[in-house]
A = this chain, B = another copy of it.
Amino acid sequence: MNKQQLIDNIWRKKSFLCVGLDTDLKKIPQHLLKEDDPIFAFNKAIIDATAPYCVAYKPNLAFYECFGLKGWQAFEKTVKYIKSQYPDQFIIADAKRGDIGNTSAMYARSFFEEMDIDSLTVAPYMGEDSVTPFLQYEGKWVILLALTSNKGSHDFQLTKDTEGERLFEKVLRTSQQWAGDDRMMYVVGATQGRLFEDIRKIVPNHFLLVPGVGAQGGSLEEVCKYGMTKDCGLIVNSSRGIIYADTTENFAAVAAAKSQELQQQMASLLP
- By CB atoms of chain B within 10 A, which of A104, A127, A151, A157 has the most? A127
Whether A68 touches B63, Cβ cut-off 8 Å, given contacts A125-B156, A127-B155, is no
CB contact between A127 and one of B103, B110, B152 (< 8 Å): that residue: B152
Q: Which residue of B is nearest A187, CB measured?
A: B126
Q: Are A96 and B110 in contact (CB under 8 A)?
A: no
Q: Give Cα distance in the complex from A67 to B115, angstroms.
A: 10
Q: How far is the CB of A232 from chain B (nearest CB, A)?
A: 25
How many copies of the chain does the oligomer comprise?
2
Q: Give Cα distance in the complex from A174 to B154, angstroms.
A: 12
Binary contact track A60-73/B, C-beta < 8 Å → 1, others 0: 10110111110011
- By CB atoms of chain B within 10 A, which of A63, A103, A152, A170 has the most? A152
Q: Give Cα distance in the complex from A202 to B234, angstroms.
A: 41
- Interface stretch among A29-37, A142-150, A247-255? A142-150
Q: Are A106 and B62 in contact (CB under 8 A)?
A: yes
Q: Are B150 and A107 in contact (CB under 8 A)?
A: no
Q: Are B156 and A62 in contact (CB under 8 A)?
A: no
Q: Are A127 and B156 in contact (CB under 8 A)?
A: yes
Q: Which residue of B is nearest A76, CB measured?
A: B68
Q: Are B127 and A125 in contact (CB under 8 A)?
A: no
Q: Are B127 and A150 in contact (CB under 8 A)?
A: yes
A3 at the interface (CB under 8 A from B): no
- Interface stretch among A38-46, A159-167, A222-230, A262-270? A159-167
| Chain A 103-123 residues near chain B, CB threshold 8 A | 103-104, 106-107, 109-110, 114-115, 123
CB contact between A66 and one of B73, B98, B101, B110 (< 8 Å): that residue: B110
Q: Give Cα distance in the complex from A123 to B167, angstroms.
A: 15
A153 at the interface (CB under 8 A from B): yes
Q: Give Cα distance in the complex from A154 to B125, angstroms.
A: 10
**What would 7 more interface pairs be, CB under 8 Å, given A100-B148, A126-B157?**
A62-B97, A68-B72, A94-B99, A125-B145, A125-B157, A129-B152, A162-B162
